Homo-oligomer: A and B are copies of this chain.
Amino acid sequence: MKQFEDYKYIDGGVCAAEGFSANGINAGINPDKSKNDLGAIASISPCKTACVYTQNKVKGAPIIVTKENLQKSNNISQAVIVNSKNANTCNANGIEIAEQSCELLAKYLGIPAEYVIVASTGVIGQPMSIEPFKNGMEELTYGLSKDGNRKAVNAIMTTDTKEKEVAVEFEIEGRRVHMGGMGKGSGMIHPNMATTLNFITTDVNISAELLQKAVDELVQITYNCLTIDGDTSTNDMLSVMANGMAGNKEITVENGDYKKVKQALYIVMMNLTRMLAADGEGANKLIEVNCVNAPTLEIAKAVAKSVAGSSLVKCAVNGCDANWGRILCAIGYTDAEFDISVLDVSYSSANGTVSVFENGAGVDFSEELATNILSAEEVYINIDMHQGSEKITAWGCDLTHEYVSINADYRS
């Protein structure tokens, strides 16, 4: 993982921050008893909360209920209830189930129901029952603990092959503060506002307004620069809960402390985004597209995402084939105005760097070197636009036989 001065990676995920506990159980939603399907995160005190949601016009019932809860509570939350295996979307009783699950968790924790964030992931359009929530809530809440983060991560995984969590420690007013998060992928990922399910916790004391501002800005250069398959999910959500237990003076203006918190949030969000890309459905490789010297940030993002999202580029990386014409093709169909004739393009990885396109034309290169570079686990496609000073990174993964296999029989 990339290192950042003054920030130290630590264990603990969503439980790394003071006052947060988590748990995950199999409540019978997933017939595979070795897999958790119901998770919870709880803070011992109410949290200032920022959320971003999918912009898909079809919205999962939990998205609607969480929005309503945070509106009622004026952006205060204290706990999360989340299930996998059923997206609770496009079914008859979704809203009711989502509301009831909030009430159940709230009752066990002794908090108001509107302090609960609810989320679901899984198959769309399936009938959903409240019974697993009713039957499992006692075990779930009684088992909440400081080291329950991995059980909670396990509860949100669907086709994910790896647990995705990250946490950092840093200082504010000489106090050690913490921020950590967990996320799940790994298909139907082409975020537009937020992505997938991601929960971040921190013990820093910060106003909900500033927290939301930081999240809104950072989501544009992290989750929204990720594409696995071009499909924007109906249930995407990212929540950040700050319980203030670090004891610092509440951050209410964009001062130096705000910048520190925002940087911590960037590190957590960026790392979760990279983990989601690397574990995209069927993926063998992480593809990172670095676009520099662009005329505007929007153009940089459009170009980088166009390349990261190209099925042909993804297949070529899968096959270690330096077929750079497909990169140029994807740059060329980006919906933005810029000069294509001055671009440079190169591939790089832990195995080296190879330039393939300079000043708008292909250059001779060693196919052997290029194949070797492309055989790495993380492959970087570097685009220098030579027409400005903006830069951005987009993340994606290769397109494989496994992606097709997973999605040709997902429901079964």
Residues on A lying within 8 angstroms of B by beta carbon are 55-59, 87, 89-92, 123-126, 187-188, 190, 192, 229-234, 309-312, 315-316, 318-319, 321, 323-326, 328-334, 338, 340, 357, 361-362, 399-401, 403-412
The reply to whether B361 and A329 form a contact with Cβ atoms under 8 Å apart is no
11 intermolecular pairs with C-beta atoms under 8 Å apart: A58-B331, A90-B357, A125-B324, A190-B333, A231-B311, A315-B404, A315-B410, A316-B408, A323-B410, A401-B405, A403-B404
In the complex, A403→B311 CA distance in Å? Answer: 10
In the complex, A323→B187 CA distance in Å? Answer: 14
The reply to whether B411 and A234 form a contact with Cβ atoms under 8 Å apart is no
Can you name the residue of chain B whose Cβ is closest to the Cβ of A361?
Answer: B92
Given A90-B325, A124-B326, A192-B333: A399 in contact with B404 (beta carbons within 8 A): yes
Given A230-B311, A333-B57: A361 in contact with B325 (beta carbons within 8 A): no
In the complex, A315→B57 CA distance in Å? Answer: 22
In the complex, A65→B354 CA distance in Å? Answer: 32
Checking B58, B400, B404 against A329 with a beta-carbon cut-off of 8 angstroms, the contacting residue is B58
User: A90-B328, A315-B404, A321-B410 known; 14 other A-B pairs, CB under 8 Å?
Assistant: A87-B325, A92-B361, A125-B324, A125-B325, A188-B326, A229-B312, A234-B329, A315-B407, A315-B410, A316-B408, A318-B404, A321-B408, A321-B411, A400-B404
Residues in B with CB closer than 8 Å to A403 are 311, 315, 404
The reply to whether B408 and A328 form a contact with Cβ atoms under 8 Å apart is no
A-side binding surface: helix, strand, loop or mixed?
A: loop
Given A333-B56, A340-B58, A361-B92: A407 in contact with B316 (beta carbons within 8 A): yes
Residues in B with CB closer than 8 Å to A326 are 124, 188, 231
Min CB–CB distance A322 → chain B (angstroms): 8
The reply to whether A232 and B333 form a contact with Cβ atoms under 8 Å apart is yes
Checking B57, B58, B325 against A124 with a beta-carbon cut-off of 8 angstroms, the contacting residue is B325
Given A90-B362, A405-B401: A231 in contact with B58 (beta carbons within 8 A): no
The reply to whether B401 and A340 form a contact with Cβ atoms under 8 Å apart is no
The reply to whether B310 and A230 form a contact with Cβ atoms under 8 Å apart is yes
Given A229-B311, A399-B404: A56 in contact with B321 (beta carbons within 8 A): no
Residues in B with CB closer than 8 Å to A230 are 230, 309-311
In the complex, A282→B90 CA distance in Å? Answer: 32
Copies of this protein, total: 2
The reply to whether A330 and B404 form a contact with Cβ atoms under 8 Å apart is no
Min CB–CB distance A62 → chain B (angstroms): 15
Checking B89, B229, B309 against A325 with a beta-carbon cut-off of 8 angstroms, the contacting residue is B89
The reply to whether B311 and A58 form a contact with Cβ atoms under 8 Å apart is no
Residues in B with CB closer than 8 Å to A400 are 404
The reply to whether A231 and B361 form a contact with Cβ atoms under 8 Å apart is no
Checking B58, B332, B408 against A315 with a beta-carbon cut-off of 8 angstroms, the contacting residue is B408
In the complex, A192→B335 CA distance in Å? Answer: 11
The reply to whether A58 and B328 form a contact with Cβ atoms under 8 Å apart is yes
Residues in B with CB closer than 8 Å to A412 are 321
CB-based closest 3 A-B pairs: A124-B325, A319-B408, A58-B332
Given A92-B361, A333-B56: A409 in contact with B321 (beta carbons within 8 A): yes
The reply to whether A407 and B187 form a contact with Cβ atoms under 8 Å apart is no
In the complex, A124→B325 CA distance in Å? Answer: 5
Given A312-B231, A401-B401: A124 in contact with B87 (beta carbons within 8 A): no
In the complex, A340→B57 CA distance in Å? Answer: 7
Given A57-B333, A318-B408: A234 in contact with B312 (beta carbons within 8 A): no
In the complex, A89→B329 CA distance in Å? Answer: 10
Residues in B with CB closer than 8 Å to A55 are 333
Residues in B with CB closer than 8 Å to A59 are 332
In the complex, A409→B312 CA distance in Å? Answer: 11
Given A409-B321, A411-B323: A57 in contact with B334 (beta carbons within 8 A): yes
